[in-house]
């Protein structure tokens, strides 16, 4: 796959279709891959990588990149295409300045999950028939491949690209919620008592170090100046003034991206404290599906989103009271 | 050397905790480690390091400094400082232990930061020598030997025993208080463990990263380097690197209206943030390129320029494993060195 992508990138650069390529650059180790823009065939030959660890969704970078001179080639996994579409819909990406090549998705691997097994000194990681063979400074280690799969790939929602100019590899299908198990954990949380649910979130959110990585990586968070960074907003803060404030930050953010979050899973992927932030967003997605009919943000660029629309059949606000009180 | 069987560690921790509050790295459910207050049942983590560094003990993320109460035109300033308690941090790695020396150079010089100073005085640091360094480790680059950690007390383990050596008066007092538990013993097995660790250390992928081409005299060359654009291109502008970093030391002071008065607190700041060093006239660093450059110039050029060549990094590797886009100080050093 990597070779086909490199060839495609070099071809499109050579024939002038694009003048830059958005992809991933290899790092010091097998897993520390950086999203990068390549401008020449030499740079691509030297550093371009697409493998088990190229999990980063590069769609958000295209907000800035698509406003530069010339067209940029972007390699997008199925999940990334939903973010891309949503950003086009919100007039954040200039569509005609991006040449989208759809590439197969994951599952991608999570180095943290390998390390959590106590495996350290990681030099090389290979999947051999469902067993991950890990070459380390302390000898070879093995673990089941599926246990190292990145959280967002475990509940993959689609192998279909919702936007592309060209595809490499075969097109896949949308995966139903039943098959992906995407809402299983949300249901588990819904079935908890209020106290249990509160305790769950307190334990998770109290780990927050307020680094803002979740917000800054989020393709739905593209405000020029976030209220939390803007002293004129009256609610800007860099740290919690009391122990409950971290919860508010995440809950407000989840509200703000409701109906626009495509469930790309980047928030949880980048969280240094492994907080399952995507569950907040999934709760909104699940509720929107239940109240307004199935809706997938980013599926298209033209439809009106349920929360931006009005319909006489919309559920009444009283639903909050009916469902919210135990 | 004084030692105690690893099997008796619960007894050891109980004895320490009976005198002072004891904090040590413990495993979380998600497989990562964090410093936790010891109580019965808490086990010392076997992970190499905690997600958050040990600097939190001396320089917490948020801290209230003072309160103000206003009545008409009268402002009352209330000193809210409480008496600090003695505490022990057990299991600090050599990198984090060195970070305290770096923080001291910032906070214990004139004008002394008395909030920091008080905590330093009340804290006893018991380090733990490394036996399984990770691929992300490069403390040796900064002259740190993880098999000979600093601290008030150095501790080693060979798997069967914990060995202790006091390095300061405070450390000696700490070991004296545990004398009934510790026995003098032979260190042959420990020396073997150290030798094995040293062999791994020489094979670490980052073992050859050197500070040779960095320091105060590189200011103009690196500040003007054309590499910053490419290096900072994908930076998200989040604060992960600065907040997991044991040596990042910048903070912001804010006033918070509680409704009943004003609470003045300080909190960690990040040079990666858009309002960092924002002043009345505006912001001197308008794009992520300048913010990104600031962080690495500070550690590799400005800090050594002001501190007799000492660098502002200890090679703990946290930023290497935690940066969402995997951009870090090692990649920056390598890129700047390329002509």
- How many domains, in total, are found in chain A? 3
With CA atoms as reference, the chain A residue closest to B240 would be A211
pLDDT of residue A316: 84
Q: What angle do CA A141, A145, A146 make, to 5 degrees?
A: 140
**Per-residue pLDDT at A299 exceeds 60:** yes
In a domain, B141, yes or no: yes
Omega within 30 of 0 (cis) for the link into A8: no
Average of per-residue pLDDT across B103-107: 97
Among the candidates B202, B225, B255, a domain finishes at B202
- Answer yes or no: do B58 and B197 share one domain: yes
Asked if A14 has any chain B CB less than 8 Å from its own CB, the reply is no
- Pick from A230-234, A284-288, A295-299, B66-70: least confident: A230-234
Count Cα atoms within 13 angstroms, Cβ side, for B200. 25
Q: B324 or B72, which is more confident?
A: B324
Omega within 30 of 0 (cis) for the link into A186: no
- Answer yes or no: do B105 and B156 share one domain: yes
pLDDT of residue B21: 97
- Answer yes or no: do A163 and A144 share one domain: no
Flag if A211 and B46 touch (Cβ within 8 Å): no
Mean per-residue pLDDT of chain B: 95
Rounded Cα distance, B178 and B87, in Å: 15
pLDDT of residue A232: 84
Asked if A247 has any chain B CB less than 8 Å from its own CB, the reply is no
Per-residue pLDDT band for A302 (boundaries 50, 70, 90) equals very high
- Interval B86-103: pLDDT, tens: 999 999 999 999 999 999
Flag if B135 and A122 touch (Cβ within 8 Å): yes
**Per-residue pLDDT at A196 exceeds 70:** yes
Average of per-residue pLDDT across B5-14: 96
pLDDT of residue B278: 87
Asked if A144 has any chain B CB less than 8 Å from its own CB, the reply is no
Nearest-by-Cβ selection for A120 from B52, B132, B256: B132
- Answer yes or no: do B174 and B62 share one domain: yes
Nearest-by-Cβ selection for B265 from A137, A241, A270: A241
- Interval B15-53: pLDDT, tens: 999 999 999 999 998 889 999 999 999 999 999 999 999
**Per-residue pLDDT at A326 exceeds 60:** no
Rounded Cα distance, A16 and A130, in Å: 41
pLDDT of residue B17: 97
Nearest-by-Cβ selection for B322 from A27, A207, A272: A272
Percentage of the residues of chain B whose pLDDT score is greater than 70: 100
- Answer yes or no: do B76 and B117 share one domain: yes
Cβ count within 10 A of residue A92: 19
In a domain, B209, yes or no: no
The size of the A-B interface in CB pairs under 8 A is 137
pLDDT of residue A90: 96
Rounded Cα distance, A12 and A19, in Å: 8
* Structure-block tokens of residue B19: 């005198």
Q: A240 or B107, which is more confident?
A: B107
pTM (2 d.p.) = 0.94
Boundaries of domain holding A13: 1-110+156-175
- Interval B192-247: pLDDT, tens: 999 999 999 999 999 999 999 999 999 999 999 999 999 999 999 999 999 999 99
- Interval A54-78: pLDDT, tens: 999 999 999 999 999 999 999 999 9
Count Cα atoms within 13 angstroms, Cβ side, for B316. 31
Boundaries of domain holding B145: 2-202
- Pick from A146-150, A240-244, B70-74, B298-302: least confident: A240-244
Rounded Cα distance, A18 and B338, in Å: 28
Flag if A270 and B324 touch (Cβ within 8 Å): yes
* Structure-block tokens of residue A153: 């790939």
Residues of A in contact with B34 (CB under 8 A): 207
- Answer yes or no: do A269 and A189 share one domain: yes
CA–chain centroid gap for A160, Å, is 16
- Answer yes or no: do B183 and B76 share one domain: yes
**Per-residue pLDDT at A325 exceeds 60:** no
Per-residue pLDDT band for A236 (boundaries 50, 70, 90) equals confident
Residues of A in contact with B324 (CB under 8 A): 56, 213, 216-217, 269-270
- Answer yes or no: do B243 and B197 share one domain: no
Per-residue pLDDT band for A187 (boundaries 50, 70, 90) equals very high
Question: Phi, psi (5° rounding) for residue B13?
Answer: -65, -35
- How many domains, in total, are found in chain B? 2
- Answer yes or no: do A117 and A61 share one domain: no
Average of per-residue pLDDT across A268-290: 96
Q: A113 in helix, strand or coil? A: helix
With CA atoms as reference, the chain A residue closest to B50 would be A273
pLDDT of residue A324: 62
Nearest-by-Cβ selection for B267 from A116, A231, A238: A238
In a domain, B79, yes or no: yes
Residues of B in contact with A115 (CB under 8 A): 31, 134, 321
pLDDT of residue A246: 72
Flag if A229 and B135 touch (Cβ within 8 Å): no
Residues of A in contact with B270 (CB under 8 A): 211, 238
Asked if A272 has any chain B CB less than 8 Å from its own CB, the reply is yes
For residue A151, CA distances in Å to A55, A107, A128, A131, B111 come to 11, 9, 21, 18, 48
Nearest-by-Cβ selection for B239 from A36, A115, A211: A211
- Answer yes or no: do A302 and A188 share one domain: yes
- Answer yes or no: do B88 and B231 share one domain: no
Q: How many Å from the N-terminal Cα to the C-terminal Cα in chain A?
A: 52
Per DSSP bridges, beta strands B33-37 and A139-144 are unpaired
For B132: left if phi > 0, alpha if psi spans -120 to 50, otherwise beta; the answer is beta
3-state DSSP helix/strand/coil % of chain B, to nearest 5: 35, 20, 45
Flag if B324 and A217 touch (Cβ within 8 Å): yes
Q: Is ipTM over 0.90?
A: yes
């Amino acid at each position: 796959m990597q070779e086909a992508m490199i060839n495609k990138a070099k071809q499109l650069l050579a024939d002038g279709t694009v003048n830059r390529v958005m992809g991933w650059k290899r790092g010091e180790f097998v897993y520390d891959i950086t999203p990068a823009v390549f401008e020449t065939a030499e740079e691509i030959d030297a550093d371009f990588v697409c493998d088990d660890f190229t999990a980063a969704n590069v769609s958000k970078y295209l907000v800035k990149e698509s406003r530069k001179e010339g067209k940029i080639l972007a390699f997008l996994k199925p999940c990334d295409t939903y973010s891309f579409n949503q950003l086009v819909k919100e007039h954040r990406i200039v569509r005609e300045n991006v040449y989208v090549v759809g590439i197969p998705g994951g599952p991608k691997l999570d180095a943290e999950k390998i390390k959590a097994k106590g495996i350290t000194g990681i030099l090389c990681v290979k999947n051999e028939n469902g067993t991950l063979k890990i070459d380390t400074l302390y000898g070879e280690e093995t673990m089941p491949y599926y246990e190292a799969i990145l959280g967002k790939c475990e509940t993959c929602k689609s192998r279909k690209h919702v936007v592309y100019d060209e595809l490499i590899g075969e097109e896949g299908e949308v995966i139903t919620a039943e098959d992906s198990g995407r809402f299983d954990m949300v249901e588990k949380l819904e079935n908890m008592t209020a106290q249990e649910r509160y305790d769950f979130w307190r334990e998770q959110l109290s780990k927050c170090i307020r680094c803002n990585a979740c917000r800054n990586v989020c393709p739905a968070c593209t405000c020029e100046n976030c209220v939390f960074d803007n002293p004129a907003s009256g609610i800007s803060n860099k740290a919690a003034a009391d122990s409950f404030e971290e919860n508010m930050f995440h809950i407000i953010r989840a509200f703000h991206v409701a109906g626009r979050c495509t469930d790309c899973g980047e928030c949880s992927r980048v969280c240094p404290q492994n907080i399952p932030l995507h569950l907040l967003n999934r709760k909104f997605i699940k509720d929107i599906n239940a109240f307004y009919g199935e809706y997938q943000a980013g599926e298209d660029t033209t439809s009106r989103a349920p929360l931006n629309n009005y319909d006489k059949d919309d559920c009444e606000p009283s639903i909050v009271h009916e469902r919210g009180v135990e | 050397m004084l030692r105690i069987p690893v099997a008796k560690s619960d007894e050891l921790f109980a004895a320490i905790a009976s005198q002072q509050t004891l904090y040590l790295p413990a495993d979380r459910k998600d497989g990562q480690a964090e410093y936790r207050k010891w109580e019965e049942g808490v086990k010392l983590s076997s992970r190499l390091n905690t997600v958050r560094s040990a600097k939190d003990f001396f320089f917490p993320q948020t801290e209230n400094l003072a309160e103000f109460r206003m009545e008409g035109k009268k402002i009352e300033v209330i000193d809210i400082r409480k008496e600090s308690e003695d505490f022990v941090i057990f299991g600090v790695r050599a990198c984090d232990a060195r970070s305290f020396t770096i923080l001291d150079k910032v906070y214990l010089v004139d004008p002394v930061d008395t909030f920091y100073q008080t905590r330093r005085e009340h804290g006893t640091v018991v380090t733990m020598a490394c036996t399984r360094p990770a691929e992300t480790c490069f403390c040796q680059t900064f002259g740190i030997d993880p098999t000979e950690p600093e601290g008030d007390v150095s501790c080693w383990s060979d798997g069967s025993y914990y060995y202790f050596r006091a390095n300061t008066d405070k450390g000696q007092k700490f070991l004296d208080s545990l004398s009934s538990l510790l026995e003098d013993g032979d260190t042959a097995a420990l020396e073997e463990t150290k030798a094995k660790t040293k062999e791994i250390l020489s094979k670490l992928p980052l073992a050859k990263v050197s500070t040779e081409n960095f320091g105060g005299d590189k200011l103009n060359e690196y500040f003007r380097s054309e590499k910053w654009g490419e290096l900072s291109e994908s930076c998200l502008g989040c604060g992960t690197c600065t907040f997991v970093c044991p040596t990042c030391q910048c903070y912001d002071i804010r006033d918070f209206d509680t409704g009943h008065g004003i609470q003045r607190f300080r909190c960690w700041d990040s040079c990666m943030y858009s309002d960092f060093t924002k002043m009345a006239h505006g912001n001197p660093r308008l794009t992520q390129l300048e913010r990104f450059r600031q962080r690495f110039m500070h550690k590799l050029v400005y800090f050594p320029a002001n501190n007799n060549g000492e660098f502002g990094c200890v090679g703990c590797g946290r930023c290497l494993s935690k940066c969402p886009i995997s951009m870090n100080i090692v990649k920056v050093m390598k890129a700047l060195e390329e002509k």
